[in-house]
Amino acid sequence: MRKLRVAFVVFGLSFLALAAWVWGVMMAVAQDLPALEDEARFKNAENSIVYADDGVTPLTTLTGNEARILVDSGDISSLLKSAVVAIEDERFYEHRGIDFMGIGRALYQDVIAGGASQGASTITQQFVKNAEEAQGNRTVLQKLREAALAYHIEREWTKDLILTNYLNNIYFGHGAYGIEMAARTYFGTAHPGCGVNRDATTGAPVVLVPCASVLAPHEAALLAAVISSPSAYDPVTNPVDATDQRNLVMQKMVEQQTLSQELYDSESKISVPGESAIKTPTSSVTSYAPFDTSWLRQQVADRYGSDAFGGGLKITSSLDFDLQAKVVEVINNYLPVGGPTAAVVVIDNDTAEVRAMYGGQDYSANQFNLATNGRRQPGSSFKPFTLIAGLEAGHTPEELFTSAPQDLSFDPDGKGPLKSEVFEVRNYGDSYAGTTTLSNAVTHSDNSVFVQLGLDVGTDKVIDVAERMGITSHTPKNPAIILGAPPKGYTPLEMAYAYSTLGNRGEKVSGTMAASGNGEGPVAIEKVTRDGDPVPDELGADGTNQRVTDEAISQGVADQTIELLHNVVIAGTGTRASGLTDYTWGKTGTTDSNIDAWFCGGVEDATACVWVGYNDPDQAIPMSTEFGGLPVDGGTLPAQIWHDVMYNYINIRNAAEAAG
């Protein structure tokens, strides 16, 4: 008896010591966990939304690489919550993060089965595991960490908040992360209109109806069923197992009195969705300006890190929704699908903010953004940089040049005096004016005159002007650059921004929220707020775009250049862009074999660039007959598109001013 008493005391003390040690380790681990910051992040997790420049019209929801869309508790069907609790953690509303009864039951079942047959993780622990990204084989210490944090969270959060965050973060199979994306993936086709936040008639943004809020019992039960094993209960590859598990979920709901027997009898007979009904999510969600918002998305991520996708940010973009819609309409009128496409950028001169962007015909088919990434040779639309270099060097508009075929010696280093190589120059259409002024050469885009001018001042000076005005791509000093033929070319965004410096009478404008992140270049973000307050970013900006300026060229040279480019529109190669205002100016550009065609220019307060060509630069497809049987050059489709885009810009601007 004495030995039994000693054994009993030793056993009891050992048990208490072990329990105390485990509890102490759990508390110590909880204090050491950096997950307290994660806790705040998950607790306050909310979608970041991009709005148009009015701050009211939603353009898109920002999602990470997993295309997860966060929803509030009220947007999740109560049936879905009941189904998940029924199958994953039936004592969820009773325990405090760690279910000791569940652990005991699981141990008993494991002994009966002779091996691991049941898990005992609570929903809270599963949420912690997912938040900590600890999948697969986890160590004892990792499990203690999870249990400690689960206990801590249960003391701070409501059960509904835990369940909502859990559902927003778990994987449901078929590429669907989070309950809203899962509901869209599996049952979006069964509920037309859910998850699509646009008016069916006008296409205008409207209030989103989450698919997670409209689930029927059998749908909620299937989503709950796949949580434990998305592959084993995949309704496409394993429809029988998926059906059985779904019905098991509904049986448990009946037992817990969250579903009637009558509903179970009817809903359990419905087939699970097949392959044709399941729509795997793409990497992005609906956007009303997909090329612009994809460009902006990376900027927000660079500035705000993980908060970009779940920090509840309100991002007011620079995009004018009405103008963007008109740009799409204009291009659809001129360029049918299957032919050449276009890229368009419209920039507000005063702020350098991008008011409209068109990067291609079908974003769903091809996400390559021609406006921001499509580097194409600009042709003669590069000539204003040569003109400005010439004016800065003392050349005048009335200076005489010889317009004729030229075989010109040039300095391979681009600095002028040394003439050791020859450059053959021919005009477009092999048309020449004889003796002509620089002004006429600008109006009619005379290649032979411009190469003489460019070689005289030196290609290094021409490139310096282009870079001062906003061209950031590397430009070699080969004389071909004078005619706009760099090896890799420039983007329409880059060209539009450089031209906007001319529209600002020589002042290069940017902002603290510029795309480059350093106060240089065009701007896509007007401000970023949370609960009405600006949110400072990681690059030093305070959350509100502040204007930044730098004098790139003198005002006198800029005014002189604009006057010469005004003649291009009223009497030269760009007449199809005329008829807007007395201040309209611009320059056409066409590359060899009519592969690329451009028109860039501006009105009083805005600048725009239009590029037209085929999507794949590697194929270099000539546009020989696409303009009503005639070749496409800068003065045809690009000038027409530019005219109509700016016509709409002026109308929208005037209407806004009239409305106050």
Same domain for 263 and 129:
yes
Same domain for 444 and 343:
yes
| 294 inside domain | no
Report pLDDT for 231.
Answer: 81
| 48 inside domain | no
Same domain for 583 and 482:
yes
Same domain for 246 and 136:
yes
Same domain for 497 and 590:
yes
Report pLDDT for 457.
Answer: 94
Domain boundary among 267, 288, 308: 267
List the domain range (segments joined by +) for residue 165.
74-175+183-191+216-267
Same domain for 220 and 111:
yes
The Cα 238–Cα 626 span in angstroms is: 52
Same domain for 124 and 224:
yes
- Give per-residue pLDDT as tens, 237-289: 889 999 999 999 999 999 999 999 999 999 999 999 998 889 876 645 578 89
DSSP code of 197? -
- Give per-residue pLDDT as tens, 379-433: 999 999 999 999 999 999 999 999 998 887 766 665 554 555 677 888 877 888 8
Report pLDDT for 13.
Answer: 64
| 599 inside domain | yes
Same domain for 581 and 487:
yes
| 298 inside domain | no
| 514 inside domain | no
Domain with 110 in it: what CATH number?
A: 1.10.3810.10
| 519 inside domain | no
Domain with 653 in it: what CATH number?
A: 3.40.710.10
- Give per-residue pLDDT as tens, 620-637: 899 999 999 999 999 999
- Give per-residue pLDDT as tens, 28-56: 555 544 443 344 455 556 778 999 999 99
Q: Which residue has the tokens 């027997």?
A: 261
The Cα 337–Cα 331 span in angstroms is: 10
The domain tally of the chain equals 2
- Give per-residue pLDDT as tens, 200-217: 444 454 557 899 999 999
- Give per-residue pLDDT as tens, 322-334: 999 999 999 999 9
Domain boundary among 244, 267, 290: 267
Q: Give the strands of the sheet with 341-348, arranged side by side.
A: 354-358, 341-348, 606-613, 596-602, 585-590
Q: Closest Cα partner for 442 from 394, 410, 399, 481?
A: 399
The Cα 530–Cα 544 span in angstroms is: 12
Domain boundary among 267, 292, 310: 267
Same domain for 387 and 263:
no
Same domain for 494 and 406:
yes
Same domain for 559 and 445:
yes
| 66 inside domain | no
- Predicted structure pTM score: 0.75
Coil/strand/helix, residue 14: helix
| 310 inside domain | no
* DSSP line for 102-127: HHHHHHHHHHHHTS-------HHHHH
Same domain for 427 and 343:
yes
| 476-490, 507-521, 597-611: which is most confident | 597-611
